Amino acid sequence: MITRTLAELAQHVGGQVQGDGATLISGISTLQSAQGGQISFLANSRYRKFLQTTQASAVIVAEDYAAECPSNALIVTNPYVAYARIANLFVGSLVCDNGVHPSAVVSASARLGARVTIGPHSVIGEGAVLGNDVWIGAGCVLGRNVAIGADGRLEANITLWHGTQIGQRVLIHPGVVIGADGFGLANDNGIWIKVPQLGSVRIGDDVEIGANTTIDCGALEDTVIEDGVKLDNLIQIGHNVHIGAHTAIAACTAVAGSTKIGKYCGIGGTVGIVGHLEIADHVQITGMSMVTQSISAAGVYSSGTPLEPNSHWHKNFARFKQLDEMWRRIKQLEAQLEQLNHSLHQKDNQ
């Protein structure tokens, strides 16, 4: 069991202790469920009602709520960030045996760093390079010349195809496929001709990729995911896409080929982004939006219609189809009004 004093946790997150810094903390939980020996947090004012009755030995709070805390408090500027950092302490190191499982297949030309673990039935292809402390789960397939930086972790059933380059401290969840062919086709009189996908995928440091996400290789140049990018589950990244550093994308979003997304962007779930666009740094796109043109300035962008009763939606949809006709009639009325005003003005001057 991992145990830290409250004072040690405060030092770890740059916070201030209110109460007994020697209090031992061995876990973390919600305000409602926490017991003695655990630390909780208040990051959303909607949960303030649970603060007075929590059984937690300590609570991570902003200074505004410290006086309301019935137990020890760890006062920080951003309770949610502090919670994340502390929770990572209690995850601890996964205990596993270093080395290659007898059922794994590792090419003789592959190079393995120190303390590498390769799980059952995994396949490591020719020329692959695995850095120190890389952990490969069961059933993973690494193609030719794949490279993974130090402290990388691949969970079960992941495929990294030929030439994929992975940075340091990258976490990839089960079912991810990186480096499969992009969707490149040429139409020859109604017959689709496959366009060979000759690029690869380059992924930076400290990237996390959620379960069953796919990242296609480039057609000629590489698909690029920069440092610190966080991808949720079930995301499709098309060929030659470039995602800037520290951008986060939520589940079920699809990014079509050759789109460039800037740094520090946040993209909500089930967003569709068409190909060959450019999105500036610090752009936020809300869930279920459809992006059909480039975004050149930072800000929050949305599209789509919110949920409403079906009968209202049908009426509004019918009116939506009449917008073009309504626009033409409004322009006509504006012209008539301008002509009338002009006539009245001339009459006043006579």
* 239 is known as an active-site residue: yes
Tokens of 43: 């990051």
Q: Are 239 and 221 in contact (CB under 8 A)?
A: no
Give bridge partners of residue 301 from the DSSP assignment. 285
CA 28/CA 12 separation, integer angstroms: 15
CA 178/CA 160 separation, integer angstroms: 5
Of the residues 173, 239, 242, 246, which is catalytic? 239
Looking at this protein, which amino acid is placed at residue 178? I
CA 41/CA 245 separation, integer angstroms: 29
Say if residue 103 is exposed, middle or buried (CB neighbours under 10 Å; 0-12, 13-18, 19+). exposed
Q: How far is CA 173 from CA 82, 124, 153, 177, in A?
A: 24, 18, 9, 10
DSSP state for residue 295 in the 8-state scheme: B
Helix (H, G, I), strand (E, B) or coil at 104: coil
CA 332/CA 329 separation, integer angstroms: 5
Q: Are 133 and 93 in contact (CB under 8 A)?
A: no
Q: Find all residues with CB under 8 Å of 284, minimum gap 6, and list them.
A: 265, 266, 267, 299, 300, 301
Q: How many CB atoms lie within 10 A of CB 32?
A: 13
CA 267/CA 251 separation, integer angstroms: 9
Q: Find all residues with CB under 8 Å of 3, minimum gap 6, and list them.
A: 24, 25, 26
Q: How far is CA 340 from CA 61, 172, 326, 331, in A?
A: 66, 68, 21, 14
Residues marked as catalytic: 239
